[in-house]
Structure 1
Amino acid sequence: MLKFTAEHEWLELDGDVATVGITTYAVEQLGDLVFVELPEVGKSFSKNDDAATVESVKAASEVYCPLDGEITAVNDAIVADPSLINSDPQGAGWFFKLKLKNRADADGLLDEAAYKELIA
């Protein structure tokens, strides 16, 4: 199940684990990404904590943790090649996997239709 935040993160939910990245809209606003800093595996975050950082030719931006949970994996490929985020933000450009503290919290996030309305 795909969910979105108003801060332009997407989550692909698989049980109590969410794969997290930034949306195509966010990438379009940032421009070409040149640097990514990811969280450490095993680190716990609360909803809306700064979890990662991206820098583009235009600006630097934080990537927020969309829900409470613990980082279980990070995508080292985007650190080595940030352009993967530009070319496939909602696929190969994922940032981290988050084991959710409470899976039901995801119900409060935006679905795709609500997110599209937000950015329209």
Structure 2
Amino acid sequence: MARIPGRTSTRSWSRPHDFAELVFGVVLALSPIWFDTNTAATWTMVVLGALIALDGLVSLAMPSLVYGEAVQVVLGALVFISPWVMSYTEFTGASWASWIIGGLTVVAGVAALPVANAAHRTAGQH
């Protein structure tokens, strides 16, 4: 199928924002392997990382679902504040991983919102 200029692709597995979110989630979930953590930090990073990766997979498989990008923004914000909320700021590596990955996840989710909205609008036209 030829891509029409100005139209957003609704093809599965084709959006770089969602691939980035998948990678961010996997890296966050695996971060306790590389950084010193406590139990709260480990579980927070693993669970939130897995949720980010899972939502990235869902967004890749179903690109016209707009809510997935909003979920990414919320999860990214939770990751960003987690070192303070879960009291693991003394673990510098884990904290920086949370702040960087959380911030990148928010940015990717916000950047993907217009793309997902456009895919959602055009999904019914095929």
The TM-score range, normalised by the shorter chain, is under 0.3
TM-score w.r.t. length of structure 1: 0.26
Question: Which TM-score applies when normalising by structure 2?
Answer: 0.25
Structure number with bigger Rg? 2
